[in-house]
């Protein structure tokens, strides 16, 4: 139901704000890098879901979040921006590393993910405002 897109967008914005705020508050060596990065990654996924629902009336339901990118492409069609799609893919690609591979993310590592999220979210927010 395209009317649910607003709920996903609200969650995306809340997660993005949380990741951004935490990346500012965290100090080097705090040990919050993985947590901040995973919140940023989920914010990007929520933005993709909001756009997919708003423009296509569907979202990815796969457990593998890589499917969210393909779903977004299908929903947006010619509205998709290849640079933003690459950016989303790069953010989502971090999920396994951050969550499941036992790799420690420093605060600076997390800030790099948040910076990419902020760039993607700015585009996603602007496009969301143009939804049908």
What are the average pLDDT values for consecutive 10-residue runs of the chain, which has 132 residues? Answer: 91 98 91 96 97 94 80 96 96 91 93 98 97 88
pLDDT at 1: 77
The separation between the first and the last C-alpha atoms of the chain, rounded to the nearest angstrom, is 13
Q: How many CB atoms lie within 10 A of CB 105?
A: 21
pLDDT at 64: 66
Rounded to two decimals, the pTM is: 0.94
Task: Please say whether the beta carbons of 15 and 36 come within 8 A.
Answer: no
pLDDT at 60: 87
Cα 60–chain centre separation:
13
Task: Please say whether the beta carbons of 76 and 47 come within 8 A.
Answer: no
Return the structure tokens found at 66.
């890589």
Return the structure tokens found at 105.
């993310």
C-alpha to C-alpha distance for 79 and 94, rounded to whole angstroms? 25
Task: Please say whether the beta carbons of 11 and 130 come within 8 A.
Answer: no
């Amino acid at each position: 139901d395209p009317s649910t897109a607003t709920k996903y967008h609200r969650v995306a914005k809340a997660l993005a704000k949380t990741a951004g705020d935490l990346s500012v508050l965290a100090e080097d060596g705090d040990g919050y890098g993985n947590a901040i990065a995973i919140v940023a990654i989920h914010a990007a996924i929520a933005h993709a879901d909001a756009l997919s629902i708003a423009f296509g009336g569907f979202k990815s339901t796969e457990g593998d979040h890589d499917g969210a990118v393909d779903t977004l492409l299908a929903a947006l069609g010619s509205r998709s921006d290849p640079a933003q799609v690459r950016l989303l893919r790069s953010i989502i690609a971090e999920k396994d590393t951050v969550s499941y591979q036992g790799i420690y993310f420093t605060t600076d590592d997390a800030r790099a993910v948040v910076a990419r999220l902020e760039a993607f979210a700015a585009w996603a927010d602007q496009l969301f405002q143009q939804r049908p």
